[in-house]
Amino acid sequence: MPIIRIALNVPVDTLFDYYAEDASTDDIGLRACVPFGKKHLTGIIIAVVAESEVPPAKLRAVKSIFREIKPLSQELLLLFNFCSHYYHYPLGKVIMNGLPLKLRNNQSLQLKDNQTDNQYSLTSAGKQITVKDIPARQRIARRLLVEFHCSTVISHRQIQQISPRAIPLLKDWLTWEWVAAIPKISTSIAPNLGPPLTTEQAHAVVEITNDDGHFKTWLLHGITGSGKTEVYLRIIASVLAKNKQSLVLIPEINLTPQLEAVFRERFSAIPLVSLHSGLNDTERLMNWLQAQSGEAKIILGTRLAVFTPLPNLGLIIVDEEHDTSFKQHEGLRYSARDLAIFRAKQINIPIILGSATPSLESYHNALTHRYHSIRLTSRAIENARLPTIEYIDTRTDKRREGLSSALIDAISQCLAEKHQSLIFINRRGYAPVLLCRSCGWSAACHRCSSRLVVHLRDKKLCCHHCGHDEHFPRACPDCGNQDLAPFGLGTQRVEETLAAHFPSARIARVDRDSTRRKHAWKDILQAIHTHQVDILVGTQILSKGHDFTNLSLVGILNADTSLFSTDYRASERLFAQLMQVAGRAGRAEIPGHVMIQTEFPEHQLYRALQRQDYDSLAHALLAERKAARFPPFVHQALLRAESHAMHDVMDFLQQASRLVAHTNTIEMFDPVPAQIARLKGMERAQVLVQSNSRNQLQKFLARWYTEINRLSVHKIRWTLDVDPVEF
């Protein structure tokens, strides 16, 4: 009887054998439900063999094999295998992590027959209708109208995903001629779409499209507003002309609405799907199936989309490639950017890494000619200029509630000219600390090594690490003093201060709290683009990829906190963040002005930012990294461990560090507590290992991982983090 070898979603790095009388090698890649202990689990068939090392008496029979679809192609299996070996993580958990949730359960998939998926767009009459014309109680109608305005063309499936009640509305709007149906999807691409290219954009498009279409890593290094997205669109058009698919990876879900609208407007007749955590399980599965079948030609997604099955993949784009959001920070700690490069090499297609501030690793690879660099040094819109950057020395210009008089005057001038302002502070909540002025007590999270953040409107103290919240104390628990005061700034406090200074201004706060509701971010974007907002207050959500044509002023608060961090990547991240947020200003004909409040206006990072000179800072930081033996000049891995008691963690790490003898090519440091030593009730520590050779490091990690698995660690949770970006 044939034996299937199956990968299961369990924390054991092995495959499991089961009898399957009707199995054949054609079943490799299918799902199968098998008994596992006292329960049943679904996994993926990796191999079909005739013999097993497990004694026949202990082999159990498979419960069922699901043959409605094959989730795993040979190409994808190779990608998962590489991911498992490189990041030293169980293959079964790697595979199941990459599949939609509905493919991980023990049920067969009920696939509906494919029907014509009509598309719809607003007519000229429909475009005259605004959200204000629809009563507030008709929330579904308002949601549908916003979706039409954002996406230009919407499919029948997308309308169903908004709400089942949106379908009757669609019928009414068709009757009233607010919308018109596009009954048949056409894959033809109209020529010469989009604005005329600048000389640099045209050069980039020609360089990449005239290449042989084989594997090559292109670093598209373009300043903010230089038109990197337009370059993507032109290259995707050439890929679509060959009937190939394009995968576009973005770092955050909040970038999806605007970028998706741009892609749908340009390729209105081309099937496009999004894959991100904002979709429900059914939506994600349907989009995943469209990509797997080859029906969807453009796939736009966050990091997990790198595992999407794409039978005709011809191009991969990683936008904002420097962003640390491409690195998974829990469980399987993979880098979607690095896996995308491996996948492109594996199937021999080009990959484009785009950024205004490339990661130092990518920049170094371009300097050493591992990557092919293309520069965009000027803004794409004819009269658009880079914003001027001014520093407000807060040692002399004192702040009131976080805002200097110079910044308040600039906002007032901006309002008078009916332009928009953006005040950037990368800290949500009202204030980061609740402080007793009498004894110095501050509210701390009992589950984490961090302070509780003040959320004044909710009258709560919240931990932004574990989610714990509690009510305000009536008095200091140490001394009984009732005069407790919030200390420091957060987005809510800045919003309150601006409202007091400018009572008639329309202020919108954009952070994780205000965008938590499913469609809140799309509504805010719509309000910004239709000039219903005068002042934006926000975190890093606003710093990337957005094009606000009426935005002329950017004010940046509390940038100094990262200047002297113990994290060697802090300067690189701060420069990238400031460059990105500064780049939101002056993207059209309105001149841009950036004001940064700082106590260190002469710092080299600020001077490089003022000159928009990424190269000089990058060379300086690379020289520091080389002298200190930091990446990209060495390759690193962290053994992370956590338990309820720190002494258990340190004992485990001490024991683990002695398991494998390491040569002089491997450098291992002593165990130390993590930067946040207590998180979600668990005590955490780590051991750093590094080597000049990636190959030598991987060989060592493979041996070490095997030996650690043999330890008795029932009290300890541990994982290997290869190429860590946080410590």
Helix axes 139-151, 166-175, angle to 10 degrees: 70
Same domain flag for 356 and 210: yes
CATH number at residue 672: 3.30.70.360
pLDDT at residue number 202: 94
The pLDDT value given to residue 190: 53
- One domain, residues 260 and 404: no
For residues 317 and 351, is the Cβ–Cβ distance under 8 A? yes
* DSSP secondary structure letters along 399-437: EETTEEHHHHHHHHHHHHTT-EEEEE-S--SSBSEEEET
Residues 413 and 512 in one domain: yes
In a domain, 538, yes or no: yes
Same domain? 149 vs 226:
no
Is residue 453 domain-resident?
A: no
Average of per-residue pLDDT values in the chain: 89
**Same-domain pairing of 515 and 652:** no
Same domain for 17 and 93: yes
CATH number of the domain where residue 238 is located = 3.40.50.300
> Which residue ranges of the chain lie beneath pLDDT 50?
113-116, 185-186, 191-192
pLDDT at 114: 46
693 and 566 assigned to the same domain: no
Cβ 197 vs Cβ 234: under 8 Å = yes
CATH number for the domain harbouring residue 16: 3.40.1440.60
Is residue 559 one of the residues assigned to a domain?
A: yes
At residue 185, the pLDDT reads 47
Dihedral sign (CA 75, 77, 82, 83): positive
SS3 262: helix
Question: 287 in a domain, yes or no?
Answer: yes
Predicted pLDDT of residue 191: 47
- Among 54, 79, 103, the domain-final residue is 103
Same domain, 332 and 253: yes
Give CA–CA dist 159/164, Å, rounded: 8
**Does residue 447 lie within any of the structural domains?**
no
Q: What is the pLDDT of residue 257?
A: 77
Domain count, the chain: 5
Domain C-terminal end among 55, 77, 103: 103
**Residue 189 in domain:** no
State the burial class of residue 411 (Cβ atoms within 10 Å of its Cβ: 0-12, 13-18, 19+): buried
**Residues 99 and 140 grouped into a single domain:** no
687 and 538 belong to one structural domain: no
**pLDDT score for 220:** 97
Residues 335, 226: Cα–Cα separation, whole Å: 26
Residue 29 lies in a domain: yes
- State both tokens at 582: 């500064």
Question: Residues 28-83: pLDDT tens digits?
Answer: 999 999 999 999 999 999 999 988 899 988 899 999 999 888 898 999 999 999 99
User: Cis bond leading into 473, ω under 30°?
Assistant: no
pLDDT of residue 124: 84
Determine the Cα–Cα distance for residues 594 and 610; give it in Å rounded to an integer.
10
Residues of the domain holding 548? 388-431+488-623
Tell me: do 225 and 277 sit in the same domain.
yes
Assess if residue 468 is contained within a domain. Answer: no
Residues 332-336: contacts with CB under 8 Å, at least 24 apart:
332/83, 332/87, 332/89, 332/93, 332/94, 332/97, 333/87, 333/89, 333/719, 333/720, 333/721, 333/722, 333/724, 334/83, 334/87, 334/303, 335/723, 336/249, 336/302, 336/303, 336/304, 336/305, 336/306
Do 237 and 318 fall within a single domain? yes
Using the 3D structure, point to which of 623, 651, 667 is the last residue of a domain.
623
Half-sphere exposure of 694 (CA within 13 A, CB side): 7
* Residue 17 · residue 3 · CB < 8 Å: yes
For the chain, the C-alpha Rg in angstroms (whole number) is 27
